[in-house]
Amino acid sequence: MKKELTRVFEMKELDEFRRYFSCRIDRNRKERFIYIFQEDFIIKNLKKYGYSFNLYSVQAPWFANIQISKIWTFDKQADTKQYMSEVAILNFTATIICLDIQYTTNRLAEANKGFTKEYVAVLKYLWRYMAGMKSLGLYADRC
């Protein structure tokens, strides 16, 4: 099949897959495991959105004492583009490498049209959680 494709398309050999969206991927063929490191990805995005990557970390992705109403009046002066960009990258993170933040990112995404200070507080809290989780990753064996 490869020979047939090279007749039609210009192709080149690539090295082993090492990075995916700034996540480092280590594969040990002998031991049959894959480990995906998220540290570079998280540090890159903390810097991108103006957070320090030495944030005081928290133990859970959701504020214990905050309630977000299903109905709210949003601040029309707020930078929704920045907010949506941050929520989008966190949602991607929740889908690919950090499944435990899915509920929080879904709640934050409710406010993509407009948000209140409570949403911003939860967003900043979630970045603190991510900063504390940066050295963790995914491990899969028998690959």
Per-residue pLDDT of the chain (143 residues; tens, 9 = 90+): 777 878 888 877 766 667 667 778 888 888 888 887 888 888 888 999 988 767 788 888 887 777 777 666 666 666 788 889 999 999 988 887 778 899 899 888 988 877 888 888 889 999 999 988 888 877 778 75
24, 18 Cβ separation under 8 angstroms: yes
Residue 19 belongs to what domain range?
2-141
Q: To the nearest 10°, the Cα dihedral for 125, 34, 40, 110?
A: -40
In the chain, the number of structural domains is: 1
**pTM for the whole structure:** 0.74
